[in-house]
Amino acid sequence: MRRNDLGEFEEVVLLAVAALSPKAYSVVIAEDLERETGQTVSTGAVHAALQRLETKGYLTSRLGEATAERGGRRKRLFTTTALGGRVLSEVQAVRNRLWERIAPQTILKWS
């Protein structure tokens, strides 16, 4: 596997951005991940991951319109770049190959 410097939390944040786009911002991403994982996810951790992913070139961001509900502040909205999409595809392919190597009876033992 090619090294892509994508940690597990960054991977799920990147997946959430792809799923929520074009309305992906830190609060909505944290709420989505909490709903999906059943675990508490802080917006601060999401924000830090978003910054790292943007630095790596996997995401881009832009400021949305100001809203009254946010006291006139603007949301920073994130979208996945082509590079981010390729990295997600690579990670998915690796995971799929590994899952395919596990015998179905082994999976049944885990249930």
pLDDT at 4: 67
Which structural domain range is residue 105 located in? 8-110
- 70 assigned to some structural domain: yes
Residues 6+ apart with CB under 8 A from 49: 9, 10, 13
pLDDT at 2: 52
* Per-residue tens of pLDDT for the chain, all 111 residues: 455 688 999 999 999 999 999 999 999 999 999 999 999 999 999 999 999 999 999 999 999 887 777 677 889 999 999 999 999 999 999 999 999 999 888 888 887
- 102 assigned to some structural domain: yes
Q: Indicate which CATH number applies to the domain containing 90.
A: 1.10.10.10
Number of domains in the chain: 1
- 3 assigned to some structural domain: no
pLDDT at 98: 94
Residues 6+ apart with CB under 8 A from 31: none
pTM of the model: 0.87
